[in-house]
Amino acid sequence: AQTVTQSQPEMSVQEAETVTLSCTYDTSESNYYLFWYKQPPSRQMILVIRQEAYKQQNATENRFSVNFQKAAKSFSLKISDSQLGDTAMYFCAFMKFQGGSEKLVFGKGTKLTVNP
Amino acid sequence: GAVVSQHPSRVICKSGTSVKIECRSLDFQATTMFWYRQFPKKSLMLMATSNEGSKATYEQGVEKDKFLINHASLTLSTLTVTSAHPEDSSFYICSAGGTRTAENYGYTFGSGTRLTVV
């Protein structure tokens, strides 16, 4: 079974600075997707960034980028120029191909607070 | 982009009654829908997976007779909490996935339903 571990329950960063959230996972699959989701106080789950395991290039989305280390099974999220609106729970998630009903396996989350 | 509408956003019901939560995909066909439960300050716990036109697959430990899931069309799935009790109070979230295209990976989530059983 796949597992996703987020070792940082809480983190804080000053506005405009950079912060990195850690995520490791365990799987025997070779083909899979990794995701970072954001859940602000509204509790709406928002997809931040997605990485396909077969792609070596790290995904980027504006101020968000990942460091995907497949051999190490590591998938960290870097947030540059942090903004107050980035304050949220961040969940790392894994998905394998499973015959059309792919499940997301979530980590326990990291609560990020951006301070003014 | 893909939008999933979940209703109601909040519901309070009396112990012993049933509550239905709806999840609709507004601009795509959701062949698969997932239902999650989230406790305060915790991660999402998958309850069940439903595919349109077939019975839902429940995760271990989830009572299928208490949490009835129906996925009768490609745009609507419902979760009914039957004979609700205070311990069923929680935040319930649905997510939907369409055809297997790259754009649909990373499922779209509903806005969630806060259920309070009194």
Mean pLDDT by 10 residues, chain A (116 residues): 94 98 94 93 93 91 97 97 98 80 88 98
The confidence band for B102, taking pLDDT boundaries of 50, 70 and 90, is very low
> Could you tell me if B95 lies within 8 Å of chain A, comparing CB atoms?
yes
| Chain B residues near residue A100 by CB distance under 8 angstroms | 31-32, 51, 100
The region of weakest confidence among A95-99, B50-54, B55-59, B109-113 is A95-99
pLDDT of residue A81: 98
Strands (E), chain B: 4-7, 10-13, 19-25, 32-38, 44-51, 57-58, 67-73, 76-81, 90-97, 108-109, 113-117
DSSP A28: S
Between CA A76 and CA A30 the distance in angstroms is 19
Chain B interface test: which of A46, A55, A90, A101 (most B C-beta within 10 Å) = A101
- Chain A: residue nearest B32 by CA? A101
Least Cα distance to A97 among A53, A31, A25, A17 occurs for A31
Q: What is the mean pLDDT of chain B?
A: 89
